[in-house]
């Protein structure tokens, strides 16, 4: 797992965009491509922000509906509490 994290970090840092990062992950490993590509996608989003992710990739996220519901719930709670987190 540590090797996959290190590889994903390197790929994310070297990539010019999301698609290049995912392609590099697929080229770099064969058996662990889903793991490394998932890590790369996550790291790329964290490093470059949500707007740097292609809309078609976001639409294909597994569990996207659950993520949308969780985000809406969190936003509603923050609005109701004036941004307080506790």
**pLDDT tens for residues 23-54?**
999 888 878 888 888 899 889 988 888 888 88
Same domain for 40 and 8: yes
Predicted pLDDT at 21? 92
Between CA 24 and CA 28 the distance in angstroms is: 6
- Please say if the pLDDT value at position 86 is more than 80: no
User: What range does the domain containing 36 cover?
Assistant: 2-53
Domains identified in the chain, total number: 2
Same domain for 46 and 68: no
Residues 6+ apart with CB under 8 A from 35: 4
Same domain for 75 and 41: no
Task: Report the C-alpha dihedral over residues 35, 40, 46, 48, rounded to 10 degrees.
Answer: -160
**pLDDT tens for residues 9-27?**
999 999 999 999 999 998 8
Predicted pLDDT at 10? 92
The rounded radius of gyration (Å) of the Cα atoms in the chain is: 15
Same domain for 7 and 39: yes
Same domain for 86 and 47: no
Same domain for 44 and 85: no
Same domain for 72 and 39: no
Predicted pLDDT at 62? 66
């Amino acid at each position: 797992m540590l090797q996959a994290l290190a590889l994903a970090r390197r790929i994310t840092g070297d990539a010019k965009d999301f698609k290049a990062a995912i392609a590099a992950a697929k080229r770099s490993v064969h058996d662990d491509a889903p793991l490394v590509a998932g890590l790369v996608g996550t790291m790329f989003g964290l490093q470059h922000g949500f707007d740097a992710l292609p809309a078609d990739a976001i639409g294909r996220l597994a569990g996207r509906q659950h993520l949308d519901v969780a985000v809406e719930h969190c936003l509603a709670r923050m609005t109701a509490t004036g941004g307080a987190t506790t």
